[in-house]
Amino acid sequence: MNKRVGSVLHMLISLGLGAVFIYSGSLKILDPTGFAQAIANYKILPDSFIHVTALYLPWLEVLCGLSVLIPRWQKAAILLISGMTLIFMLAVTSAMLRSLDISCGCFGSRSASVGMETLWVDAGILFGCYVWLMLKKQNKQ
């Protein structure tokens, strides 16, 4: 791939991932009670962790969304985004296997129900992270 095309693609992926995580984290920050209920609906975490998670996870999402735009912090942010996405995919899969009819909680009160669509969106995020890492590696060579 042409190095210039790779650089542009790398930047576009950074902007896209950053925007998604800043937006989704911000919506959850504005409604911590609603996000806590979305987490509780998955019936995975003990009650003692639900509110802590609802308070801190959105800030981590926003921080990662901003960090993916800062060259020095990009790789760490991409790795954290990948990890959060994988964990979320496991939670969604668990909810689907248990036939829970719940909101995914991804975008606060604007969230869709858990299902294959949610998993496909997350697979797209993971793919974006993978492409970002491969482009970063290619640009170093």
pLDDT in tens, 58-105: 999 999 999 999 999 999 999 999 999 999 999 999 999 999 999 988
* Nearest Cα to Cα of residue 106 among 35, 54, 16: 35
- The structure's pTM equals 0.91
Query: Please, which pLDDT band fits residue 6 given cuts at 50, 70 and 90?
Result: confident
CB 85 within 8 A of CB 41: no
Query: Please, which pLDDT band fits residue 7 given cuts at 50, 70 and 90?
Result: confident
Element (H, E) at 49: helix 47-67
CB 122 within 8 A of CB 88: yes
